[in-house]
Amino acid sequence: MNITGQDLILACSAIGAGLAVIAGIGPGIGQGIAAGHGAAAVGRNPGAQGQIMSTMLLGQAVAETTGLYGLLIAMLLLFVKPLVG
């Protein structure tokens, strides 16, 4: 079986995609911290649950962005294949 240059690029793209989604670790930790502090805040002040919830979700969604950039890079490598000439 011959491995052409294009095959090599595809294989390396797949590895690169796998590495790119490691970016998901950061948002995971960040969202967990946000959720933990949100739970603590509700415990201290149950009356403000609605506002705490929306603030927490907003912060988590913003924190999620970096992970989604990693996902996008993986998608680009796998499906758009910018490196294959």
Partner 1 sequence: MNNAVLLASADDIDFMIHGLFSYELFGQTVWITTSHVCIAIVMMVLIILAIIANRKMAKATEVPDTLQNVIEIVVEFLDGIVKGSMGWSAPKFRNYIGTIFLFILLSNISGIFGLRPPTADYGTTFALGVITFSLIHINQFRYNSLKQIWTDMCSPLPPWLPIWLPINLISEIAVPISLSLRLFANVLSGTVMMALVYGLLKAIAYVWPAALHVYFDLFSGAIQTYVFCMLTMTYISQQMGEEPIKQQN
Length of the chain measured in residues: 85
Nearer to partner 1, 40 or 72 (CB): 72
Residues that bind partner 1 (CB under 8 A): 7, 10, 14, 54, 57-58, 61-62, 64-65, 68-69, 71-72, 75, 78-79, 81, 84
Work out how close the CB of 44 gets to partner 1 at its nearest, in angstroms, rounded to a whole number: 21
Nearer to partner 1, 40 or 58 (CB): 58
Contact 67, 27 (CB under 8 A): yes
**Residues with Cβ < 8 Å from 55, sequence gap 6 or more?**
38
**Residues with Cβ < 8 Å from 69, sequence gap 6 or more?**
23
Nearer to partner 1, 11 or 33 (CB): 11
